[in-house]
Amino acid sequence: MKKVIPFLVATVFVVTSQVFAWTSTQDAADRLGATQVKEIAFDKNADRLTEAQKSEIRNAVSEAAQKGRIDEVKVFAWSDKEYPSDNKKQTKEEVGLAKNRIKHLKSFLKDDLKVKSVDEYNMAERPSAIEKLFNTSDAKIKNTAESAGAAPTEGNTGLFDLKAQASKGVVMIFLKR
């Protein structure tokens, strides 16, 4: 019995941490009007999708298509660091890693799954001053993700990094109305 209790505590902790991160992403998807959302965890420094990740995305797109006609898909990708704080920038390598993750996600969606419209959001970069001034789509989407807790900045990832999004990709699917 003494060995079971620590195991149960650890199991509950892991499940809770995954659910908490998911609810932040789901909240952002709900605020943006997405019908379906899929969160993907990349290995450190990896930018390519595994077959298991492709299968998860394929299933999410298929489920959404059963509900109606897909209008667009929004793809978010982080580097191996959290969303940058105000007035901070990530290195070129970190921005490039997120960009490559987006490239592979977008390519899979367009080429393999035949999704026509894919918007991309590099979560290794904050909106520029001009984007904020003109309240561009990029600025609105990133601000919504951040306010929903789906794009926490370093130091704001909660107890034991439960809200961390580093090394993640998110696919949000929107249907025609």
Grouped pLDDT means (10 residues each) for the chain, 177 residues: 49 40 77 94 96 98 97 95 84 97 98 97 92 92 80 50 71 96
Domain of 15, CATH number, reads 3.30.1330.60
The per-residue pLDDT for 158 is 45
Q: In which domain, by residue range, is 45 found? A: 4-175
The per-residue pLDDT for 1 is 58
Residue 141 one-letter amino acid: I
Q: Residue 118 has which token pair?
A: 């894919």
Strands, E assignment, the chain: 36-41, 70-77, 118-122, 168-175
Q: How many independent structural domains does the chain possess?
A: 1
Contact 108, 54 (CB under 8 A): yes
73: which strand partners? 118, 173
The per-residue pLDDT for 82 is 82
The per-residue pLDDT for 151 is 57
| 55 phi, psi to nearest 5 deg | -65, -40
